[in-house]
Amino acid sequence: MALSGPQKTVMQTVSVVLLMGGMAWASVPLYDWFCRVTGFGGTPGQVSVGSDEVLDQTVKVRFDGSLNDGMPWVFKPVVREMEVRIGETGLAFYEAYNPTDKPVAGQASYNVTPYTAGPFFEKIDCFCFTEQVLAPGERVQMPVSFFVDPEMVDDRDGKFVHTITLSYTFYEIDLPEGYAALDQDSATATN
């Protein structure tokens, strides 16, 4: 059965709307993947092992921590900056504190500035790879291990980078199912 002119136009319009909706839905994960692979927008890479080459040249790494609006935690780097040799594995800690009377879950987003350093800043392990849940009054130190890829010294723009800032922003997320039940239990106990 062939479609008439108006029916064909409606079907084409619905198809375009569905395609655009699908592209909008997929754009965030695709952009995130693109940034992680290319280092675009200052997104550091993720690797499973450190560098096999360590240079004598050093770079200063600064650490920054902030909270999204409404996130009730206190969050800050333990040390504000360190100097590491390029290729050397560095270890830094951030401290998070939940001053509330209920468990709070959070996830960290991160980036590196200047953006030209993004493709060369490699994280080996990081608290930002998973969601974090802090119990009421809990204070924790969360590690991040990293290195700056030696290829940066040969990069057209990277060779001029002498200071890199690693920034995290924690935002609140829904509690995982097991914690949500604990939160409801504590709310019932106080009523």
What does the pLDDT read at residue 90? 96
Please provide the CATH number assigned to the domain covering 40-190. Answer: 2.60.370.10
Contacts of residue 133, Cβ cutoff 8 Å, sequence gap at least 6: 103, 104, 105, 106, 175, 176, 179
Q: Give the residue from 68, 61, 164 showing the smallest Cα distance to 108.
A: 68
| CA proximity to 118, closest of 146, 137, 145 | 146
3-state secondary structure of 118: helix
Name the band, by pLDDT with cuts 50, 70 and 90, for residue 39: very low
- How far apart are alpha carbons 89 and 122 in whole angstroms? 9
pLDDT at 30 over 90: no
Q: Where are the domains of the chain?
A: 1-32, 40-190
Give the E-state strand segments of 118-185 in sequence order: 121-126, 132-134, 139-148, 163-173
Q: What was the pLDDT predicted at 8? A: 76
Q: Is the pTM of this model over 0.75?
A: no
Max avg pLDDT among 6-20, 21-35, 157-171: 157-171
Q: What is the pLDDT of residues 71-112, one digit of tens each?
A: 999 999 999 999 999 999 999 999 999 999 999 999 999 999
Percent of the chain topping pLDDT 70: 77
% residues pLDDT > 90 (the chain): 64
- Residue owning tokens 């009054």: 137
